[in-house]
Amino acid sequence: MKNSATKIKILLVVGVVLLFAKILFFNGKPAQPPAAASPCPPATAPFPSYDAQFAPSDKWCLDNPNGQVFQLSQNYEDAVKSVYEPLAWKKVVTTPEDFKIKWKEYLLAVLTYAYEGNVENDWVVQRNTRRRWFHAPWMHAGSTGREFLHGLTVERPSCAAELIDGKICDDDKLSINNWAVGIYNEPGGFYTGQIWREMLKPHPNPKNFPRDGFPEGTVAIKLLFTQADLDYLKNSVKWQADIYRGAMPPQTMRLLQIDVAVRDDVSPTGWVFGTFMYHDDAPPFEYHAALPPDKQSWLKVVPLGLMFGSETSESILNRQVPVPQHFGCRERLNGPVDNPKSSCLACHAQAEVPADLDFNKLNLTYPPMACDAETDKFWFRYVNPRSRKEAEKTLSAPDKKTVSLDFSLQMRQGIERCCAAKNACQCR
């Protein structure tokens, strides 16, 4: 007994001496091997490309040394405001009446423009040598935010009946995952930069956002991918996406829908929205350049319609669709995965921010999207931030004190996310 007590004392003394020696010789810093550089790309600034929580693992980066990791295109300060080249669709339509006859030609001219240099480079827009394209900031945050392979974000899910028969399902039947990514051309990137320059200030004030919204000539395109393995998508474009956020390997997603939005003064709202769907049997549309075989699928898309206002007469729908469509409320345009009780422009009219950036109050003021006589008055009213009448500038005007984001829902979602995050935008 005595013996072991002495041993413990000796051990204690040795321990204390070693501790002092460590403090003296290592100057308080624990000795560690130098940190090995991560095989993954460093985080981007000022805006992250994906949420750090859902970044690729070191193992993934080591196993995929040539794997493309999504990088946000965010040099907005280099973007010029005005277009510097003739835009093909401006020659197609000069009055709103022209849309009724030439809507397909118009949409294909826009699609061709958005494809150029992007399809060839797998939509890594930084590699496009023809034109500059930009992503929207702050779509990365949270589990619905950008995944690390292509920067896709969560979309409204679908049910099979919607995608095969154009039927409408109850919300609890919507179990097919859809993810998407949108980009803006240079005038769009310019406006995005102006908004976010304000948002990064110590006390951002939406009243300082550019008054006229996006410059004429702005184009946005959104690529929508589905998890559904449908017959008509067998040869569609396939992208891998980390939709289960590391819990399962990346999944194969198939191109289903392509949306475009164009700032065009011919439209009474200032915007033209159009949508396409992929179909294996669609004849490839005429693209200006030859594409390698693995990129030909991008051409098998069918225009489903165009809209330039929320009046039912301002939607032009394709009646010869390859797959039955539900379209939007009272035959207004929307896409195969969109909410059938809404429509492109009505849903996008929610692109507004409260002047005091308190989103909780604003969200409570929206009636449900029910597609009935009562709520239609709200959702399908005329909205145009460039209108001289205050009451028409935003969806919630004039009583709710909102500032327009000119139909950009990525801008709205980004601002909402940045305001909600800790140590990010100082909104209040």
Give first-to-last CA distance, the chain, whole Å.
Answer: 68
By CB under 6 A, name the one of 147, 216, 259, 314 that touches ligand HEC: 259
Which positions ≥6 away from 233 have C-beta within 8 Å?
Answer: 226, 254, 255, 256, 278, 280
Q: How far apart are CA 125 and CA 42, in angstroms?
A: 19
**# binding residues, ligand HEC (CB under 6 A):** 26
Q: Which of residues 184-223 bind ligand HEC (CB under 6 A)?
A: 220, 222
Q: How far apart are CA 72 and CA 123, in angstroms?
A: 12
Q: Compute the least distance from the CB of residue 424 to ligand HEC, in Å.
A: 18
Q: Compute the least distance from the CB of residue 230 to ligand HEC, in Å.
A: 19
Nearest to 329 by CA among 316, 346, 314, 306: 346
Q: Compute the least distance from the CB of residue 42 to ligand HEC, in Å.
A: 25
Q: Compute the least distance from the CB of residue 404 to ligand HEC, in Å.
A: 13
Tokens for 271, please give them.
Answer: 């915007």
Q: Which of residues 141-160 bind ligand HEC (CB under 6 A)?
A: 153, 155
By CB under 6 A, name the one of 195, 241, 261, 371 that touches ligand HEC: 261
Nearer to ligand HEC, 22 or 104 (CB): 104
Q: How far apart are CA 324 and CA 319, in angstroms?
A: 9
Is 107 an interacting residue with respect to ligand HEC (CB under 6 A)?
A: no
Tokens for 332, please give them.
Answer: 């207004």
Is 275 an interacting residue with respect to ligand HEC (CB under 6 A)?
A: yes
> Are 282 and 187 in contact, with CB atoms under 8 Å apart?
no
By CB under 6 A, name the one of 335, 380, 384, 415 that touches ligand HEC: 335
> Are 82 and 251 in contact, with CB atoms under 8 Å apart?
no
The stretch near ligand HEC (CB under 6 A) out of 100-108, 110-118, 285-293, 404-412 is 404-412
CA 257 to chain centre: 14
Find where tokens 């049997």 sit: 281
By CB under 6 A, name the one of 51, 186, 242, 338 that touches ligand HEC: 338
Is 337 an interacting residue with respect to ligand HEC (CB under 6 A)?
A: no
Tokens for 21, please give them.
Answer: 């020696």
Footprint of ligand HEC on this chain (CB under 6 A)? 153, 155, 180, 182, 220, 222, 259-261, 273-275, 333-335, 338-339, 342-344, 347-348, 408-410, 413
